[in-house]
Amino acid sequence: GESVGLHLPTLSVQEGDNSIINCAYSNSASDYFIWYKQESGKGPQFIIDIRSNMDKRQGQRVTVLLNKTVKHLSLQIAATQPGDSAVYFCAETPPDKLIFGTGTRLQVFP
């Protein structure tokens, strides 16, 4: 079936370094993608989104890149901080519902 998957289950980075979290998707009909951050015991928190007519979008300390040719998304976090430690999910939308990947755990160490 259709799926969104992540390459790395856990990513450990040093505080201050940049983090890159990758995601592959398989539904070529998806035209909208979202990155969420989920901390323990909480719901997913919206980070940034991108539509399929774009290949890059920047927010505050975060950048999402979309490569439709290879169906790949990445989330870049600049100057990673301890507060960035969480599980990160990419999600795609064939219309009206989100299909989530299994998540990447980001661990930030001093």
Q: Provide the minimum distance between the beta carbon of 93 and other proteins in the complex, in angstroms, as a whole number.
A: 7
Separation CA 66–CA 88 (nearest Å): 16
Check binding of 25 to other proteins (CB under 8 A): no
Phi, psi at residue 84, to the nearest 5°?
Answer: -85, -10
Contact of 11 with 105, CB cutoff 8 Å:
yes
Check binding of 96 to other proteins (CB under 8 A): yes
In the stretch 31-70, what mask flags binding to other proteins with x, by CB under 8 A? xx-x-x----xxxxxx--x-x-------------------
Check binding of 83 to other proteins (CB under 8 A): no
Characterize the bridge pairing of strands 56-58 and 62-67.
antiparallel
Q: Which residues bind other proteins (CB under 8 A)?
A: 4, 31-32, 34, 36, 41-46, 49, 51, 89, 93, 95-103
